[in-house]
Structure 1
């Protein structure tokens, strides 16, 4: 029996971008996704983590999610919505409302829990997917973002994070195989950084140098599809069936050229390998664009004036603009005012102006930014380190990020 599902991830509902909220863009995306659901009537919608942007999302972000689930259930009553927590989510928070979610045929797996005898509770991580006739067509192996405090120390096989992750995958896949019938597919959904995955600068760093990246060897050949979240670029990792769907909207300027999408997947376990899988990338329309101008200072104002005109009434619907310019001389003190006056009226939101200093005999460039975004812990640490007169040190940066990661874990575990 074939299973038909949609794979999406990294919604980051409630995100603020340079102090501008993204509610309008997320609403446009969710409305588009509802149309896909109504038209395609899939068996399941898989949301692979980072549903929210912060562990304590605003009520408006929560309302967006729950309104979406209610409308999706109305449009496709048989469709199951399966969600896992990402590293931006509070796993406990998204599980708290399970009785409410069940009314919309939805389920959230937020944390790895243990049984009374201190063993992994695998039953909670295995979710059957049904067709409209209520026959099981697939099993979803739902793995939220794996925090070491939840999975290490269970037994002699879980002495450190990497061994615990490997043990968890082995146990979960073995349990899924024991339940699987010959005409049922196995789908593994995970929020993780896989080796070989291409990152952007908007993903929260976990450990410097990609030391936390996992190997696709964790996924055995019997897994029909791996639905990944965490990296924002849509991409395959090693094999056709191991994929990141990517984020639905660009979350930083490093993502302005991404083709944001939802992956539509059909798997028929009764067919041969050539006919077993069907994949389609459903490209998400971009309602608010990210635009970057790079120019020499002498040409900058003319390039700004050449931007497409046309007023956009609502501020939240206007396009985001970043400017980077080069010059060998000091810029005029009223440069920002000149740029704002040159901009076509009521169409763009100017977020950042960056000056790139180019040395005549040096290929290295130094960038000075006027940025309205709030500082991050990483940027504050780096700034203070330099002010104290120390040279950049990867080992120190790695230790700081590890401490930051552990502090974030402690915060998450304390959430009710």
Structure 2
């Protein structure tokens, strides 16, 4: 039986972009997605993690998700929506609303659960996908973001994260093989950083110190499609059927040129070659544009003045501007106001200014950059460490990032109480 589904990920509902709400942009994306669902009527919609931007999302972000699920169920009542938790999500929180999700033919897998015998509850991770006649046409192997505390310590095969991840994949794929029939597809959905994946600066590292990304050798040949989340750029990883769908909107200025999309996948498991796959990319319209302006001051002013004019009344609809200017002298006190004055009125939001300071080139041909972007804990620690005159030490950085993860996990648990 043929199965047809949409692969999406990394919605990051509730994100604030330099203190500006992305609610309008997400509203536009979700309205567009509803139109695609109405037209295509897929069997399933997959959201491969990072549904929300933070573990404790605002009520407006939660309302966006649940209103979308209600609307999607109205226009495609047979469609299943299947979600997994990403590293930005609270797995426990998104599982708490299961009774509500059931009303909209939706399911979420947030964490790895144990059976009464203390082993991984594999049944909970294997979700059937049905056709319009309630016949199982596929199985989805759901793997949310794997936190070490949830997957280690089960037995001698799970003494550390690397071994535990491999063991979990082996056990889950083995269980899926026992369930599937020849005319049913196997789809694996995971939120992970895979080896060879191209990253952007808006993705929070999910492996301590970025020590080791996962290998696609974890995926058995029996898997028909791997629906990945975490990396925001749409991309294949090694093979045609192992893909990141990417985020629906640019989450940083480094993602300006990404071709944001939803992937429509059709699989006929009865075919024996590549003809069993059909992929179609559905380009997502960009509702708010981003502009990165770089150069010396005279170039920057010229580029700002050349931007399109025409006022946009609602500030949440206005376009974002990032300026990186190059100079060999200290900045003038009113430089920001000069930039604002050069922009066409009422159309843009100047959200970031950074300086490439070139004065030191006269002495040693080196350059230092000053950015007004808020530092991450990792960057802040590195700056302080360097300032104290210590040499780079990967082991120290790894220990620091491990502490950060423990604090984040502790905060998440507090929110669940």
TM-score, length basis structure 1: 0.96
What is the Cα deviation at residue 329 of structure 1?
2.2
Is the CA contact 1:8–1:262 (under 8 Å) kept in the aligned structure 2? yes
Residues 103-118 of structure 1 mapped to structure 2, 5 A cutoff: 103-118=103-118
After superposing the two structures, state which structure 1 stretch, 200-209 or 1-10, moved more: 200-209
Aligned partner of 1:368 in structure 2 is 370
SS at match of 1:86: coil
The Cα offsets for residues 310-331 of structure 1, whole Å up to 9 and x where unpaired, read as 1111000111100011112223
Equivalent residue number for residue 41 of structure 2 = 41
- Residue 57 of structure 1 corresponds to 57
How far apart are residue 265 of structure 1 and its match?
0.0
Q: Secondary structure at the match of 2:156?
A: coil
Matched, 1:287 2:303: no
**Structure-2 residue corresponding to 1:127:** 127
Q: What's 1:191 paired with?
A: 191
Gaps of 5+ in 1: none
Distance 1:392 1:340, change over 3 A: farther
Conserved in 1, the CA contact under 8 Å of 2:46 and 2:81?
Answer: yes
Superposition deviation, residue 299 in structure 1? 2.4
C-alpha distance in structure 2 between counterparts of 1:386 and 1:338, whole Å:
34
Q: Deviations for 1:381-414, whole angstroms, at most 9, x for unmatched residues?
A: 2333344343444332222112212322333344
**2:157 aligns to what SS in structure 1?**
coil
Distance 2:249 2:177 in 1: 36
Number of residues of Structure 1 aligned to a counterpart in Structure 2: 414
Q: Report 1:140-289 matches (<5 A).
A: 140-207=140-207, 210-289=210-289
Mapped to 2, the partners of 1:207 and 1:183 lie a distance apart of 37
Other-structure match for 1:316: 316
- Partner of residue 10, structure 2: 10
Map of 2:400 onto structure 1: 400
Is the Cα contact below 8 Å between 1:73 and 1:79 reproduced in 2?
yes
Moved more, 336-345 or 301-310: 301-310
Return the offset for 1:8: 0.2
Contact 1:92–1:415 (8 Å) recurs in 2: no
Structure 2-normalised TM-score?
0.96
Give 1:272 shift. Answer: 3.3
> Tell me, what secondary structure is at the counterpart of 2:158?
coil
CA distance in 2, matches of 1:231, 1:39: 28
Per the alignment, in what secondary structure is the counterpart of residue 176 of structure 1? helix
Secondary structure class of the residue paired with 2:372: strand
Q: CA deviation at 1:144?
A: 0.5
Structure 1 CA distance, aligned partners of 2:389 and 2:363? 25
Q: Is the 8 A contact 2:207 2:213 kept in 1?
A: no
- Structure 1 vs Structure 2 CA RMSD: 1.5
8 Å contact kept, 1:206–1:401: no
Distance 2:208 2:290 in 1: 27
